[in-house]
Amino acid sequence: MGEAEIRTVETIGLIGWGRMGGMMGTFAVRAGWPVVAYDASEEARAAAAQAGATVAGGVAEVAASSDLVLLVVVDDTQVKEAITGPDGILGKARPGTIVAICPSVRPDTCTEMARVAAGHGVHVIDVALVGGERGAEAGALKLMCGGPSHVVDACLKAFAAFAINVCHVGDVGAGQVAKTANNLLLWSCIRANYEALTLARKLGVDPGKLRAFLSIGSGANRPLEEWGAQRLRWPKKDLEVALALAEDAGVHLPMIEALQPLIGELTVEDLADLR
pLDDT tens sequence across 54-83: 999 999 999 999 999 999 999 999 999 999
Strands of 54-55's sheet in order across: 54-55, 35-38, 12-15, 68-71, 98-101, 123-130, 141-146, 163-170
What's the pLDDT tens digit per position in 232-242?
Answer: 888 988 999 99
Q: Please, how many CA atoms are within 13 Å of residue 103, restricted to the half-sphere of its CB?
A: 24
> Phi/psi class of residue 132: alpha, beta or left (left: φ > 0; alpha: ψ in -120 to 50)?
left
Query: Is the model's pTM score more than 0.85?
Result: yes
Among 172, 202, 223, the domain boundary falls at 172
* Residues 224 and 244 reside in one and the same domain: yes
Residue type, 167: C
Among 151, 172, 193, the domain boundary falls at 172
Q: How confident is the model at residue 222 (pLDDT cuts 50, 70, 90)?
A: very high
User: Can you tell me the distance from the alpha carbon of 136 to that of 127, in angstroms, rounded to the nearest whole number?
Assistant: 14
Q: Determine, yes or no, domain membership for 2.
A: no
* Residues 57 and 147 reside in one and the same domain: yes
Instruction: Write down the pLDDT at residue 4.
Output: 75
* Residues 99 and 223 reside in one and the same domain: no
Instruction: Write down the pLDDT at residue 11.
Output: 98
User: Can you tell me the distance from the alpha carbon of 117 to that of 51, in angstroms, rounded to the nearest whole number?
Assistant: 30
Among 172, 204, 236, the domain boundary falls at 172
187-198: average pLDDT: 96
> Domain range spanning residue 84?
12-172
* Residues 93 and 43 reside in one and the same domain: yes
Sequence-separated (6 or more) residues with CB below 8 Å from residue 208: 275
* Residues 203 and 135 reside in one and the same domain: no
Q: Determine, yes or no, domain membership for 7.
A: no
The count of structural domains within the chain is 2
